Structure 1
Amino acid sequence: MAVKTEAPAAVAEIRPFTVEVPEAELEALRARIAATRWPEKETVGDQSQGVQLATIQALARYWQKEYDWRGVEARLNALPQFVTEIDGLDIHFIHVRSKHEDALPLIVTHGWPGSIIEQLKIIDPLTNPTAHGASASDAFHLVIPSLPGYGFSGKPTSSGWGPTHIARAWIELMRRLGYPRFVAQGGDWGALITDLIGLEAPPELLGIHTNMPGAVPPDLDKTLLSGGPPPSGLSAEEKHACDQLGFFYQHLAYALEMGTRPQTLTGLADSPVGLASFMLDHDEKSLELISQVFAGQRRGLTRDDVLDNVTLFWLTNTAISAARLYAENKFPFLSAKGVSLPVAVSAFPDELYQCPRSWAEQSYPNLIYYNKHDRGGHFAAWEQPQLLSEDLRAGFRSLR
């Protein structure tokens, strides 16, 4: 893949960045898709064995014959993109400043199997709120970095780039951009990293927002992770969250493999269809949604949404470098971390678990906003950009 950056004069310099993928790479991708050797059909009538053959074959047909990478490439290049070196590693980020001078700086972090593609739909609603029926006083300056080993950021060549290191790098990035005050948001890995930014509590940080709260009581999290039953005396909301978590913890094979043997997944760097299938099987509800999309139904995502993200992973050859973040992590994903700063929470029903207000209040003692939604899942900015944008405006309003 070809990219263009201006040569740095100093380590701390921020260099403009442009994506330019040679047509030969796209032709090679299509040829690899056409040459896929397919397995036999699953022996069950549902998704209990993983991504169904009909779904991945429909994805492959569209990817090979109709999908156009140039569309998302143009969207990315229409945005201000940059690279800066932090702790010896190039960090790529989108930086869109609002026309409203009193806008609040916000750093938004993606997760796996996501990328900066996830956040493209919330950029204009947050930076240009008056065009979306909201007030200029709710505007944000947006910073959207690519995680180390993901997308256009550099790939760590040694261990040490875990969530804590990333959280500290994001604080340095916001300082380097000259922001004396900011807020942070994230989902998936971005939620954990945002929690850790909150734990670092730099003086510039006003508060955080999460759509995958680290709010499960630690003892309960350990019980559910080990397959044990939840305790008695739970509310209906808490019992439902436990049921969701119990199911998810039984289907963590992808995270266990990446967390223990990421290099073994070399096949993901060799087969685009293998990569796509692995990335689709993140959680039950997301896979169900994406399967319906490739069956011709209109849902929160489109076929291009899905393939923009998968193609970014393929063209940057980041399947393995991204997987290593699981091996670097030493934190439980979903239990409370001890954040004492102001926190806003969005609870979506098809997330890995829909966080009950009681857990959010217990885990975030300075909870300033909580909204329980009736639709939306794990990739909130991607699936429900309007709802998430509204939550970010409302959640941070008291901190301006």
Structure 2
Amino acid sequence: MTTLADKSIHPFRICTPQGELDDLHERLDRTRWPDELPGVGWAYGIPRDYLKELVQYWRYEYHWRAAEAALNEWPQFTTTIDGANIHFAHIRSPEPEATPLVMTHGWPGSIVEFAKVVGPLTDPRPHGGDPADAFHLVLPSIPGFGLSGPTRETGWEFRRAAAAFAELMERLGYQRYGVQGGDWGAGISREMGRTRPDQVIGVHLNLLPNSAATQEPDADELDALSPMERKRTLASWARMQQWNRDRQGYADIQATRPQTLAYALTDSPVGQLAWIAEKFKEWTDSREYPEDAVDRDQMLTNVMLYWLTHTAGSSARIYYERAHADYWGTPPEPSATPTALADFPRDNFIPLRHIADRTNNIVQWTQYDQGGHFAAMEQPELLVGDVRKFFRKLREAATG
């Protein structure tokens, strides 16, 4: 039984012991580097020369204390929900009528992803926006990830996380609110809207689960589509084939043997960096290096939250828990909550409207010509604009 004491919310500040940073620097200095085949680029994984340069920067030029201070400018808290420690930032808007909004990250992300969108969303006035579009932001760390980790028991998949975040919003006193997310944050956000339509006014996503082509489309399916959707369907299937051939391996490992992986990533900061930085190259709208799409210091701060909290393994477990849940392999359950998708072209999958409409109440679907998986980092202005537009539309519909 939950008691009043169990529901208490505690202020939190990041305060990293200097010994942790000294240990990191020592490990970086003592890195054992593997060999590398000549001329293979990114085909076999993250290139050694690039990673060496990135590690040099991490060791001698990146400043964690500055990043720590910037994160501590956000009011942060912890609370215990369903036996797990839940960390979250809660940034209230100066606009009293602001809309509460939960923004949820994914893997290998963190609340660091949202650094460039917090200001414009919470306080539109100084950013050239309409104060009517303001939001009270709640940025939780997924159980097992970063400052919400590690988890202490099995079973923390995305549906359980969705229930925990709904409980968090109730504790904060928000009866009606919106949700937003990509990657695992998209699954969590959609689930919150699906299961709690009386609380969630709208679901804004920059990745829509279960909306890409997962098998080769047949002639009958293609004939029923418009020429544009037919072309998009073939492109979606081609990208899915590429994903299955070249990019699915990390997820298979994390869904089957996350503990074995955890030993390497928890012991080697370069291993942890390589495991994450590769995704910031492959999943973004970048040309040659991750920094073509995302800020280098912001990416390293994200890596630091995994390293300092020792959560490489516990964050990976969300893949295992979903793959071994009773619902795994079953069709998605329909959601009636109004849903928006901001579709960025270099995300991992190409979503299809005719599939999405089967199980989602899509009221806004916007395709952009730049950006990838980490939308809040890559294209913060586009994401902010899309979020504002969606919830403005919902407000106008509610007021007639």
Task: Give the TM-score taking structure 2 as reference length.
Answer: 0.90
Aligned residues of 1:351 and 1:376 also touching (Cα < 8 A): yes
1:337 CA displacement: 4.1
Of 116, 119, 123, 1:121 maps to 116
Unaligned runs of 5+ in 1: 1-7, 224-228
Unaligned runs of 5+ in 2: 396-400
Aligned residues of 1:248 and 1:283 also touching (Cα < 8 A): no
1:352 CA displacement: 0.8
Q: Tell me if 1:252 matches 2:245.
A: no
Residue 226 of structure 1 aligns with which residue?
A: none
Q: Tell me if 1:277 matches 2:270.
A: no
Instruction: Point out the more displaced range, 150-159 or 62-71.
Output: 150-159
Q: Tell me if 1:131 matches 2:126.
A: yes
Aligned residues of 1:275 and 1:319 also touching (Cα < 8 A): yes
User: Aligned to 2:146, what secondary structure does the other structure show?
Assistant: coil
User: Aligned to 1:11, what secondary structure does the other structure show?
Assistant: helix
Task: Give the TM-score taking structure 1 as reference length.
Answer: 0.90
Structure 1 distance, partners of 2:241, 2:281, is: 13
Aligned residues of 1:148 and 1:155 also touching (Cα < 8 A): yes
Q: How does 1:206-355 map to 2 (within 5 A)?
A: 206-216=201-211, 220-221=213-214, 223=215, 229-232=216-219, 233=222, 235-250=230-245, 251-265=247-261, 266-282=263-279, 285-286=282-283, 289=286, 292-293=289-290, 299-329=292-322, 330=325, 336-355=332-351
User: Aligned to 2:102, what secondary structure does the other structure show?
Assistant: strand
Q: Tell me if 1:24 matches 2:19.
A: yes
Distance 1:334 1:312, change over 3 A: farther
Distance 1:206 1:148, change over 3 A: same
Structure 2 distance, partners of 1:68, 1:275, is: 18
Aligned residues of 1:171 and 1:197 also touching (Cα < 8 A): yes
Residue 192 of structure 1 aligns with which residue?
A: 187
Provide, for residues 62-113 of structure 1, a one-character-per-residue CA deviation record: whole Å limited to 9, x for no partner. Answer: 0111111012101111110000111121100000111111111000110000
Distance 1:180 1:193, change over 3 A: same
Structure 2 distance, partners of 1:336, 1:87, is: 24
Q: Tell me if 1:35 matches 2:22.
A: no
Aligned residues of 2:143 and 2:156 also touching (Cα < 8 A): yes
Provide, for residues 234-259 of structure 1, a one-character-per-residue CA deviation record: whole Å limited to 9, x for no partner. Answer: 61112112212221122211110011
Provide, for residues 33-64 of structure 1, a one-character-per-residue CA deviation record: whole Å limited to 9, x for no partner. Answer: 11110011234432111111122111111011
Distance 1:291 1:54, change over 3 A: farther
Provide, for residues 262-287 of structure 1, a one-character-per-residue CA deviation record: whole Å limited to 9, x for no partner. Answer: 00011100000011111123376337
Identity %: 40
Aligned residues of 1:213 and 1:334 also touching (Cα < 8 A): no
Distance 1:49 1:17, change over 3 A: same
User: Aligned to 1:107, what secondary structure does the other structure show?
Assistant: strand
1:388 CA displacement: 0.6
Query: Counterpart of 1:300 in structure 2: which amino acid?
Result: A
Aligned residues of 1:192 and 1:333 also touching (Cα < 8 A): no
Query: Counterpart of 1:342 in structure 2: which amino acid?
Result: P
Of 143, 148, 165, 2:160 maps to 165
Distance 1:396 1:333, change over 3 A: farther
Query: Counterpart of 1:231 in structure 2: which amino acid?
Result: D
Provide, for residues 138-166 of structure 1, a one-character-per-residue CA deviation record: whole Å limited to 9, x for no partner. Answer: 11110000011111114222112111111
1:230 CA displacement: 3.6
User: Aligned to 2:5, what secondary structure does the other structure show?
Assistant: coil
Structure 1 distance, partners of 2:89, 2:46, is: 32
Provide, for residues 206-229 of structure 1, a one-character-per-residue CA deviation record: whole Å limited to 9, x for no partner. Answer: 110111112426xx42x3xxxxx3
Structure 1 distance, partners of 2:122, 2:287, is: 29
Aligned residues of 2:84 and 2:152 also touching (Cα < 8 A): no
Distance 1:283 1:96, change over 3 A: closer
Structure 1 distance, partners of 2:56, 2:184, is: 31
Structure 2 distance, partners of 1:316, 1:275, is: 12
Aligned residues of 1:51 and 1:287 also touching (Cα < 8 A): no
Q: How many residue pairs are counted as aligned between the two chains?
A: 380
Query: Counterpart of 1:292 in structure 2: which amino acid?
Result: Y
Structure 2 distance, partners of 1:188, 1:280, is: 16
Aligned residues of 2:149 and 2:314 also touching (Cα < 8 A): no
Residue 81 of structure 2 aligns with which residue?
A: 86
Aligned residues of 1:216 and 1:334 also touching (Cα < 8 A): no
Structure 1 distance, partners of 2:150, 2:10, is: 18
1:399 CA displacement: 2.1
Structure 1 distance, partners of 2:206, 2:290, is: 23
